[in-house]
Amino acid sequence: MSLNRLIFPFFILVSLILSGFASSQTLPKEEVDALRAVATALKKSNWNFNVDPCDLTSSEGGWRNLNATSKQFADTVTCNCSSTVCHVTSIVLKAQSLQGSLPKEFAGLPFLQEIDLSRNYLNGSIPPEWGTLPLVNISLLANRISGPIPKEIGNITTLKTLVLESNQISGNLPPELGNLQNIDKILLGTNYLTGDIPSTFSKLTTLIDFRISDNQFTGTIPDFIQNWTKLFKLAIQASGLVGPIPSTIGTLVKLTDLRISDLNGPSSPFPPLQNMTSIHTLILRNSNLTGELPDYLGSITALKLLDLSFNKLSGPIPATYSNLWNVDNIYFTSNMLNGEVPRWAVDKGNNIDLTYNNFSKDRTTKECSLRNANMFSSTTTSPLAANNYSNVACLSYYICPKTFYGLHINCGGDELTVNGTMYDSDTWEKPFHDGSRTGWVSSNTGNFLDDERDLKVTTLWTNTSELKTAEPSLYTQARLSAISLTYLALCLGNGSYTVKLHFAETMFGNNETYSSLGRRFFDIYVQGKLVVKDFDIVSEAKGAGRVVVKSFQVMITNGMLEIRLFWAGKGTQAIPVRGSYGVLISAVSVDPNFNVGGTSIGIIVGAAVASLVFLVLLIVGILWCRGCFRPKSQMEKDFKNLDFQISSFSLKQIKDATDNFYPANKIGEGGFGPVHKGKLPNGTLIAVKQLSSKSNQGNREFLNEIGMISALEHPHLVKLYGCCVEGGQLLLIYEYLVNNSLARALFGPLETQIRLDWPIRQKICVGIARGLAYLHEESRLKIVHRDIKATNVLLDKELNPKISDFGLAKLDEQEDTHMSTRVAGTYGYMAPEYAMRGHLTDKADVYSFGVVALEIVHGRGNTSARSKAETFYLLDWVHVLREQNKLMEVVDPRLGTDYNREEAMKMIQIGILCTSLVPSDRPSMSTVVSMLEGHSTVDVEELLENSFSRGNEKDEESVRAMKRHFAMIGGQEMTNVTKHTTNNDGPFTSSSSSSANAGDLYPVKLDSAYWNSRV
């Protein structure tokens, strides 16, 4: 017993010691809870909370992967532990296919220094709450992050690295970022950022790496960059900024990598860079540089890449450049350089491109390619301008083997026969390829920078994934180019041809991972003419791995056809890995639009001439009798001069479809003119929008609508089937939407209303937001609609919303922070800054959306006249209810209690936020989508409070002035209202005043008597 009494206390003591040791290093419960919330937001499912997150030696529990073999892949949570407690200091989750949103709950980890979520599929906006953390590194490369950069990031004075490349971030750069006193790197490339570079950035004197390529900034490159004297790398390619390059850039003597390209603005001389003696990468491409090449570049022996292509530089290559013989790549492409090509460039140069210049025709330039020098068309700026390939020095001795009546190239692939047509091989490795035995040559300019792709030949790509096409063999290989790719046919028979360029995006994925987030843009030139700007394969083909063929009609008159594809600095460069950008093409096919047989051309011509006179006389007689020799209207001429990618209908086809515009088929009457229902021979129902001869809109709006919609396609935009421009008739042919407009369904006459339960209203609101997000941020053209309202939202048979009426839409000009434009739109939906001052940005559409969102919740229009002396304003009423904390009274009483209170409250709050008087307080539409779908971590109520705290009496007075202005207009218009008949498909009237008579497909006007009956 005595022994037991001795052993038992000893056991207890040992247990306590061991227990104390085991619990001496623990993660506080608050941080564990924060990690749980982070996992939920990120949709990170493999963290095991029964395992210590801070055991750095263990790979159990999913807290770290100790066997990662790629620097792109990382899965690690790191802690800093003292003798008693641990704290999470780093979370690195790279390439994990995470599909959640950015967690504001990171703020619950007060010792967190690093957030690296690169290459995932995360959405939402950057939470302002991160601004409270002692972060050193934030990296969100290659995700779906949207919305603005929160100003609170400027509070993180410990921050050294901010990497937000390859996302969908929008808005202006917050001036508060200028407070980042320790920042080393700011990488913002490939987003939708706008505005000037804030002057506060002049204080960022610790910067060593600054990249803002592929954005929509405005203004010039600021002079204050001279303050960034520690800078090693500067990238401003296709940023939206304009030139000239400031001379103060010469003070950045530590630069080793300078990339400026695709810079609009006035011409300017070569900047003074003579003191940048350490620079190894110098790109000043397509930047409107004039004058001669500076001698001093020849003394910068550190150079490894020199790209001065696509400028207006003239004069000879200086003798001092002989010191550059060992530079890896030199591009003088497409300038006006003259004189002799120096022998060092040919004899000793590594890779030098002299194409498209005005060098002397001599023994050197008679070769298109010699050793490592590409001299194709080096004696003329364009082989087409030379009018004959014999004037291109290196082709002057070329004799066509025969006349070819077609051209077929399997770009990047071997010789291939598809459907009986043989496609030539195109697997060459060098920049110039002589395919003259088959009547064509090609030239490829550029090398892929920062290339992490594992390719034997960097300009050849082989697809390994499934292709969604019946003929995958033609799209298995592709030709790539980092800058410019030219195919030149030399021996075509003269006549009319159809040029088809075949594309399939095979480098990006088509799944919900970061590899599907790549964006590729390039320009297409045919016969020296720009035919497609910012061509996007994925957008045109409606997905990666899908085929799209672009067709162009050309007339060959000198046997030559030039096809050139040019990368203008836009698109992602790091998805799936760095070096993934530029031009990609799968095949070229050129076919004649005339018969090519065995009969000699002389006999064909003779027979044709013999019969031509008779045929012409016969046809002229018939057409004369039919009155077909009327002069073409200016509208027809304008239309034919525009390259709209839509179908053209004849007037006869439309008359047949609408029973000659039978009155019973009339389904609407707007400012543009009447709308008729019709049916095509294949059974397709259509809505035909007809320009009235009395319309106050007219040709400009009509062509504007064609131009806008022909470039757009989205599930939440009305589909345009085609148009008819014939004689005095101007018609648009849309898909027919059986449920008419949202306004008609919500607050039209009782017999036309549709019971819209809450899930349907939520679906409609989200759909409208998605359509606007596409217009503002995702489409090739960035478009401001200008007239978003309930009558311009149509509903299909499943009550899916589709935005219509683009007659007032404007391209979002990238050169300006806003457009000052003639005010056009509908009162009640117009943003104050636009209605009163004509200042137009995408935030005007956001305001209009906010009004529509409140109408969807409330079930009635935004304005209505109860009497001559009293007008009801929905927005005013909502603000009153907010002050009284009674916002739920906004909800349509017809819903009863059968609705989601949380979703309804969020929709109301979003509507209020979107209608903020301060445009910068309104969220982007992509952020709105995230908030409505519940993916965003943004606190809407907090944003509302901040917005209201910034409001002022001046803003409110502007709104009152706007109301008085439109009330006066409305009073004048009420005396001239025209009454329209109504049928089951037909129109009804709305009280909203419309400036410039914006046309509605299905217009709505509700008089006060109707409203009084609803109260």
- Select the more confidently predicted residue: 499 or 626: 499
User: Domain of 930: which CATH number?
Assistant: 1.10.510.10
Q: Is residue 676 part of a domain?
A: yes
DSSP-based three-state secondary structure for 232 = coil
**DSSP, res 43:** T
- Select the more confidently predicted residue: 848 or 689: 848
Preceding amide of 272 cis, omega within 30: no
Q: Do the Cβ atoms of 582 and 173 come closer than 8 Å?
A: no
| φ/ψ bin of 950: left (φ > 0), alpha (ψ from -120 to 50), beta (otherwise) | alpha
**DSSP, res 554:** E
- Select the more confidently predicted residue: 957 or 562: 562
One-letter identity of residue 596 = V
Same-domain pairing of 430 and 474: yes
Same-domain pairing of 784 and 831: yes
- Select the more confidently predicted residue: 731 or 691: 731
What pLDDT sits at residue 262? 92
Q: How far is CA 747 from CA 273, 446, 753, in A?
A: 66, 59, 7
Q: Is residue 351 part of a domain?
A: no
Q: CB-hemisphere CA count at 13 Å for 966?
A: 28
Same-domain pairing of 923 and 965: yes
Q: How far is CA 791 from CA 145, 787, 932, 1003, in A?
A: 32, 10, 22, 6
What pLDDT sits at residue 174? 95
- Domains identified in the chain, total number: 4
Read off the tokens for 18. 């061991």
Q: How far is CA 375 from CA 2, 293, 392, 458, 673, in A?
A: 103, 19, 10, 21, 59
What pLDDT sits at residue 707? 58
DSSP strand E in 393-447: where?
A: 407-409, 416-418, 421-423, 432-435, 440-445
Same-domain pairing of 669 and 803: no
What pLDDT sits at residue 571? 92
pLDDT band at 30 (very low <50, low <70, confident <90, very high): very high
- Dihedral, CA of residue 288, residue 242, residue 526 and residue 581, to nearest 10: 110
CA pair distance 202, 218, nearest whole angstrom: 17
Q: Is residue 1011 over pLDDT 80?
A: no
One-letter identity of residue 833 = E
Q: Do the Cβ atoms of 790 and 860 come closer than 8 Å?
A: no
How much of the chain, in percent, has pLDDT values that exceed 70?
78
Q: How far is CA 465 from CA 385, 395, 541, in A?
A: 42, 40, 16
Highest mean pLDDT among 226-230, 347-351, 717-721: 226-230
**Looking at residues 806-811, what average pLDDT do you find?**
55
CA pair distance 687, 701, nearest whole angstrom: 18
What pLDDT sits at residue 253? 95
- Select the more confidently predicted residue: 387 or 731: 731
| Residue-averaged pLDDT of the chain | 80
**Looking at residues 999-1008, what average pLDDT do you find?**
33
Q: Is the dihedral of CA 472, 477, 479, 480 positive or negative?
A: positive
What pLDDT sits at residue 874? 86
Q: Is residue 453 part of a domain?
A: yes
pLDDT band at 612 (very low <50, low <70, confident <90, very high): low
Q: Is residue 972 over pLDDT 60?
A: no
H-run or E-run covering 6:
helix 2-22
Q: Is residue 629 over pLDDT 50?
A: no
pLDDT band at 987 (very low <50, low <70, confident <90, very high): very low
Boundary (domain end) residue, out of 262, 297, 312 = 312
What pLDDT sits at residue 945? 75
CA pair distance 736, 677, nearest whole angstrom: 7
What pLDDT sits at residue 995? 39
What pLDDT sits at residue 711? 59
Same-domain pairing of 578 and 694: no
Beta bridge partners of 571: 520
Which of 417-426, 428-437, 500-509, 956-965 shows the lowest per-residue confidence on average (mean pLDDT)? Answer: 956-965
Q: Is residue 393 over pLDDT 50?
A: yes
Which of 562-566, 640-644, 713-717, 768-772 shows the lowest per-residue confidence on average (mean pLDDT)? Answer: 640-644
What pLDDT sits at residue 820? 41
What pLDDT sits at residue 101? 93
- Residue the block writes with tokens 């409140």: 854
Q: Is residue 141 over pLDDT 90?
A: yes
**Looking at residues 909-926, what average pLDDT do you find?**
90
Q: For the chain, what is the largest distance between any 2 Cα atoms, rounded to a whole number of angstroms?
A: 134
Beta bridge partners of 395: none
Q: Do the Cβ atoms of 270 and 291 come closer than 8 Å?
A: yes
pLDDT band at 38 (very low <50, low <70, confident <90, very high): very high
CA pair distance 338, 316, nearest whole angstrom: 5
- Select the more confidently predicted residue: 551 or 818: 551
Q: Is residue 487 over pLDDT 70?
A: yes
pLDDT band at 781 (very low <50, low <70, confident <90, very high): low
The set of long-range contacts for 981-989, using a CB threshold of 8 Å and a minimum separation of 24, is: 982/749, 983/664, 983/666, 984/751, 985/667, 985/677, 985/740, 986/666, 986/667, 986/668, 987/667, 987/668, 987/669, 987/670, 988/744, 988/748, 988/749, 988/752
Terminal alpha carbon distance of the chain: 92
Query: What is the DSSP code string of 78-90?
Result: EEEE-SSBEEEEE
What pLDDT sits at residue 1002? 32
Same-domain pairing of 967 and 818: yes
CA pair distance 833, 546, nearest whole angstrom: 43
- Residue the block writes with tokens 């939470």: 127
**Looking at residues 852-876, what average pLDDT do you find?**
77
Q: What pLDDT, in 10s, does the model give residues 200-241?
A: 999 999 999 999 999 999 889 999 999 999 999 999 999 999
Boundary (domain end) residue, out of 283, 312, 341 = 312
pLDDT band at 979 (very low <50, low <70, confident <90, very high): very low
Length of the chain: 1015
Q: Is the dihedral of CA 922, 926, 928, 930 positive or negative?
A: negative
Same-domain pairing of 176 and 272: yes
Instruction: Let me know if 921 is a catalytic residue.
Output: no
Read off the tokens for 946. 């901040």
Which of 248-262, 545-559, 722-736, 934-948 shows the lowest per-residue confidence on average (mean pLDDT)? Answer: 934-948
Q: Is the dihedral of CA 635, 641, 647, 653 positive or negative?
A: positive
pLDDT band at 913 (very low <50, low <70, confident <90, very high): very high
What pLDDT sits at residue 60? 78
Boundary (domain end) residue, out of 707, 735, 763 = 735
- Select the more confidently predicted residue: 826 or 305: 305
Q: Do the Cβ atoms of 418 and 554 come closer than 8 Å?
A: no
pLDDT band at 497 (very low <50, low <70, confident <90, very high): very high
What pLDDT sits at residue 259? 96
What pLDDT sits at residue 282? 96
Read off the tokens for 882. 């907010």
Q: How far is CA 879 from CA 64, 84, 853, 908, in A?
A: 50, 52, 15, 11
Read off the tokens for 565. 């594809």
What pLDDT sits at residue 833? 81
Q: Is residue 970 over pLDDT 50?
A: no
Neighbours of 471 (CB within 10 A): 12
Closest CA to 261 of 566, 619, 647, 616: 566
What pLDDT sits at residue 176? 95
**Looking at residues 380-385, what average pLDDT do you find?**
58
Q: Do the Cβ atoms of 544 and 508 come closer than 8 Å?
A: yes
DSSP-based three-state secondary structure for 13 = helix
One-letter identity of residue 751 = E
- Select the more confidently predicted residue: 392 or 407: 407
CA pair distance 204, 71, nearest whole angstrom: 29
Q: Is residue 17 over pLDDT 50?
A: no
pLDDT band at 815 (very low <50, low <70, confident <90, very high): very low
Q: Do the Cβ atoms of 537 and 520 come closer than 8 Å?
A: yes
CA pair distance 987, 696, nearest whole angstrom: 19
Q: Is residue 360 part of a domain?
A: no
Residue 893: what are its φ and ψ, rounded to 5°? -60, -20
User: Domain of 730: which CATH number?
Assistant: 3.30.200.20
**Looking at residues 403-423, what average pLDDT do you find?**
92
pLDDT band at 824 (very low <50, low <70, confident <90, very high): low
DSSP-based three-state secondary structure for 617 = helix
Which of 47-61, 771-785, 801-815, 850-864 shows the lowest per-residue confidence on average (mean pLDDT)? Answer: 801-815
What pLDDT sits at residue 228? 96
Burial of 896 (0-12, 13-18, 19+ CB in 10 A): exposed
Q: Is residue 697 over pLDDT 90?
A: no
**Looking at residues 242-249, what average pLDDT do you find?**
91
Closest CA to 431 of 481, 374, 377, 493: 374
What pLDDT sits at residue 83? 81
Highest mean pLDDT among 307-321, 689-703, 737-751, 977-991: 307-321
**DSSP, res 969:** H
Q: Is residue 339 part of a domain?
A: no
Q: Do the Cβ atoms of 648 and 724 come closer than 8 Å?
A: yes
- Select the more confidently predicted residue: 561 or 815: 561
Beta bridge partners of 137: 114, 161
Q: Is residue 492 over pLDDT 80?
A: yes
pLDDT band at 601 (very low <50, low <70, confident <90, very high): very low
Read off the tokens for 812. 């979002």
Read off the tokens for 633. 């209207």
* Candidate list 787, 805, 842, 1000, residue with the active-site label: 787
Query: Which residue range(s) make up the domain with 574?
Result: 401-592
What pLDDT sits at residue 798? 87
pLDDT band at 729 (very low <50, low <70, confident <90, very high): confident
Q: Is residue 18 part of a domain?
A: no
Query: What is the DSSP code string of 716-779?
Result: TB--EEEEEEETTEEEEEEE--TT-BHHHHHHS-GGG-----HHHHHHHHHHHHHHHHIIIIIS
One-letter identity of residue 12 = I
**Looking at residues 674-699, what average pLDDT do you find?**
74
* Burial letters 563-599, b for 16+ CB under 10 A, else e: bbbbbbbbbbbbbbbbbbbbbbbbbbbbebeeeeeee
Same-domain pairing of 585 and 651: no
- Select the more confidently predicted residue: 68 or 839: 839
Which of 169-183, 334-348, 748-762, 968-982 shows the lowest per-residue confidence on average (mean pLDDT)? Answer: 968-982
How much of the chain, in percent, has pLDDT values that exceed 90?
44
CA pair distance 765, 907, nearest whole angstrom: 8
Preceding amide of 576 cis, omega within 30: yes
Q: Is residue 700 over pLDDT 60?
A: no
Same-domain pairing of 727 and 771: no
Same-domain pairing of 481 and 584: yes
Same-domain pairing of 667 and 803: no
pLDDT band at 975 (very low <50, low <70, confident <90, very high): very low
User: Domain of 459: which CATH number?
Assistant: 2.60.120.430
Q: Is residue 5 part of a domain?
A: no
User: Domain of 147: which CATH number?
Assistant: 3.80.10.10
Q: Is residue 91 part of a domain?
A: yes
Same-domain pairing of 918 and 859: yes
pLDDT band at 982 (very low <50, low <70, confident <90, very high): very low
